[in-house]
Structure formats: structure tokens, C-alpha cells
Amino acid sequence: MKLRQALNVQRGDVVAFTGAGGKTSALFRLSRELAAEGWRVLCTTTTRIAEEELTHAYSQLSVSEDSLRPMAISRLLSAHGSVFLHTQIDNGKVVGLSPSVINALTDSVDSDVILIEADGSRRLPFKAPYAHEPVIPPCTTLVVPTAGYDVIGQPLDAEHVYNPEAMIERYGYLSGDFIKAPWVASVLRDEELGLKNTPDQARVVALLNKVPYTKSHRLRARVISKLILRQNRINAVAIGSVQELTPVLESQRRVGAVVLAAGLSSRMGQMKVLLPWEGNRPIIRVIADRLKRLRMDDIVIVTGHMAEQVRDALEKEPVRFAHNKEYREGDMLSSLQAGLRALGPEISAALVVLGDQPQLDNRIVLQVMNAYAEGRGTIVAPSYQQRRGHPILLDRMYWPEILDLPRGGAPRDVINAHADDIYYVNVDTDSILRDIDTPADYQEARKRAGLG
């Protein structure tokens, strides 16, 4: 995945990289990606960087508060696509721009994006800020707090960490102790450390950099990202190594499950989501338990017919409920709309789960969610012999269209309208196609599941 995709950079963004462990590399990598796509990219720093780093810049120019030189900047952007702006080079250090100058640039230069290194770390992989840091311009729209994964296992001391005293004071860590993975998450998500000085309006995507591209390290990085995402201020965590050919392995975001359990079950003759399944537990409880094991960021059960009994069946389960008042209409749309409205603003995607699909396979769910994290599609669905099944993952960008569908519409209308955005996970089981509508379906499903 490209860094631009993982950070979801938009035209007009002012992007500030903070923290340690690859800020400069990330800035120049993003600059190259955007320039290659025809963007006009301004780069700068609000601190100082080593003069040798300018070898990565396509062009450079010295400006000042009294002389922004917009025409010269525009010519360089037209010729090279990207330019690094500074005020001077002093004793091997490139001195950057003040926040006020950067703010002026947003109105006076015809650029598409501004990229800023807004923090210093003496090239160490992990940091806590001092009182004057970081220097994030108020006009910033995207902040990227960064940490080097390679700090894990290193001693918590000044040789390996920038300002370790701040971490020791805040969390009680012992000086010299080997740094543990959860410590990285705690610092990055801390509003006084990793998120310090972040403007209220800015989006936040953390970058866990220098992750070795092996399965074990990737899984460990996912655990760290889940801990980071406990802070709702952070929208996503990019996992990767920005100097690799593929700079980002995946972007972890919050995914909530919407379980549709509101129907009348008229063809079954009784409430199908309450029928017994494994261990004589109701189908809906089995599904909720499987989703719980996946550590979904939220689980919303959409109720309708026999809502009280469905709630009772899920007593003590970590789920929330949304009631579909229009359940008697018998369509999926109104239930999905109720579920989407119940998900919080911190949720990036919804996993749409059928409440009458007890053979929900967590391995398939993980494949769907991993495909989304890897940026393969903003709609992800399992497919068996070229037939689309459930559960289907929908990025938040499609929710407004679904919520605007009129009565009689169907979610598939929106999905099919964005066919180019769909990624299909091919599976070797037709369980993704099978739900339970009739007594015969139920008996057949029990037999296939080995339940007699």
C-alpha cells in the first residue's frame, strides 16, 4: 500500500509529521508519491533537519516571512512537482519555517498539499516531547505521530529514546528497562505525549515504522495498533517501513459489526435467530460470541420482531442494540440503516452480518478484514464460485448513500454502483451464501454443522 493511501491524504491537506523513528523518510516518501501523481507538493519543517536530508528533495528554495517568493515556488513546482522550503542552512542544519509563514503559504502559493516535519528527535526511534515541542501549525489538517518499531526491546535511556524522563515520570517506567510493545502504544496515544499540540480539527493517523515484513512482527504490530486505537482521537494506524518498496503493509482502522436480527421469520414460523445452535445456545448468541472473539471495535445488534427476547438471549454479551421500528416492512435496508446510525463517528467501516447465518466462519471474517486493512478494496466481500456472500465490509464513505436510499431500495444498489471498489475474497465454502429461512434450511444447516 502507498503511504498516501494509508494516510488518506487529500488535496488541500496540511500534513504534520511528529514523533520519532522515520518522520523525514516518511515526508520525502509521501512527497515522491504525490509528485508522481501530478500533485504540487510543498515540503518544509518547523524545526531543523540535517542538511544531508535535502538530497532527497526534488528542489529547494530559501524564503522568509518578508519574502515568500510565491512566483519562484510556483516555477519550481511546475518544473519538479515538489519543493522543500527553508529560511537558511546554518552549520549543517536546515532551518525551517514558522507556523505563521506556513499559514501564509496556504493562501499565497498554488500547491496541492503541504508536508511538514514538525518535531525533532535526534534520529532516535522513539520520543516524548519537551515543553516547546512539537511545533504544529494551527492550519494543520492531518497529524502523523510516528514511532520506530525497532525501539522495542531497547533500553529506556537517553541513548535510545528522546526525552525518556517524560515517559518515566508519566507512567512510572524504570530507567534502563527494556521497552515493551504496549509502551509504544501508550506514548503515541497520550494527549500529553504523542498527541501533544494536535489541532482540534486535525485528523490523526499514527505511523508505526520500521516493522520487519515477517508474520510474527506484523502480528505484534497489529496488537500495538489495536492498543493505539483505544484513543478515539486517532483515526487509523499505518503499519510498515517507509523505505521499503511497499511502504505500508496495512492500515488498521476501527471496524464495527452490524448484525441484522430484526426480521419477522415468517417462513420459519418462529424467531429463527433464537433457535438453538451450538451448546443449545441461540443462533444470535453464537454469532455474537464469534464476533466478540474477533475483538470487533463495536457490535450492534439490530432488533425488531421479538426485540425483548433477542436482548435477553444476549444478556452479558458485549454488544449494543439498535431497534428498527420499520421491521415489519421485512426489508434489509431499514435494519442496515438503523445499524449504521448506531455506530459512532470513530468507526471507519461496518461489517454487515446476517443474524440467521450461524455458520459464520471467523477465518473468512479475518480474511475480509485483512483485505480492507491492506487497502485492497473499500468494499470487501467473500465470494464462492463467483457468487457474493456475507459478511460484507463497507467503508464509511458509502454509508451516506445507503442512508439516503428510499424505502424499497436495497443495499446492493449502492454496492453494485461501486463495482470497481469491491475486492472479493475467494473462499472454498458455500457457507457464505447460506442463511436460514425455513425449517428445512435449519435442519440442513444443523446437519452440515455436525449438530444432528
pLDDT, mean of residues 347-354: 98
Distance of alpha carbon 20 from alpha carbon 24, whole angstroms? 9
Contacts of 327 (CB under 8 A, 6+ apart): 262, 263, 264, 303, 304, 305, 334, 335
Question: Percent of the chain, pLDDT > 90?
Answer: 92
Which domains does the chain show, CATH number per domain? 3-252 (3.40.50), 255-448 (3.90.550.10)
Q: How many CA atoms lie within 13 A of 439 on its CB side?
A: 2
pLDDT classification of 373: cutoffs 50, 70, 90: very high
Please determine, for residue 199, whether its predicted confidence score (pLDDT) is greater than 90: yes
Give the tens place of pLDDT for each residue, 278-290: 888 999 999 999 9
Q: What is the pLDDT of residue 143?
A: 99
Q: Report which residue type is found at 418.
A: H
Q: What is the pLDDT of residue 255?
A: 98
Helices 164-171 and 181-188 meet at what angle, rounded to 10? Answer: 90
Q: What is the pLDDT of residue 316?
A: 92
Contacts of 412 (CB under 8 A, 6+ apart): none
Give the tens place of pLDDT for each residue, 226-268: 999 999 999 999 999 999 999 999 999 999 999 999 998 888 8
Q: What is the mean pLDDT of the chain?
A: 96
Q: What is the pLDDT of residue 329?
A: 82
pLDDT, mean of residues 425-452: 91
Phi first, then psi: give them for residue 10, nearest 5 degrees. -115, 155
More confident residue, 225 or 68: 225
pLDDT, mean of residues 313-335: 93
pLDDT classification of 430: cutoffs 50, 70, 90: very high
Q: Whose CA is closest to 260, among 234, 233, 291, 230?
A: 291
Please determine, for residue 330, whether its predicted confidence score (pLDDT) is greater than 90: no
Question: Percent of the chain, pLDDT > 70?
Answer: 100
Q: Are 94 and 132 in contact (CB under 8 A)?
A: no
Q: What is the pLDDT of residue 451?
A: 85
Angle at 159 between CA 155 and CA 161, to 5 degrees: 70
pTM of the model: 0.94
Q: What is the pLDDT of residue 331?
A: 82
pLDDT, mean of residues 208-219: 97
Q: Report which residue type is found at 441.
A: D
pLDDT classification of 65: cutoffs 50, 70, 90: confident
pLDDT classification of 47: cutoffs 50, 70, 90: very high
pLDDT, mean of residues 323-347: 93
Q: Are 75 and 34 in contact (CB under 8 A)?
A: no
How far is it between the farthest Cα atoms of the chain? Answer: 82
Please determine, for residue 110, whether its predicted confidence score (pLDDT) is greater than 90: yes
Give the tens place of pLDDT for each residue, 135-167: 999 999 999 999 999 999 999 999 999 999 999
Q: Could you give the dihedral angle defined by the CA atoms of residues 277, 381, 377 and 26, in that order, rounded to the nearest 10 degrees? A: 20
Contacts of 341 (CB under 8 A, 6+ apart): 322, 403
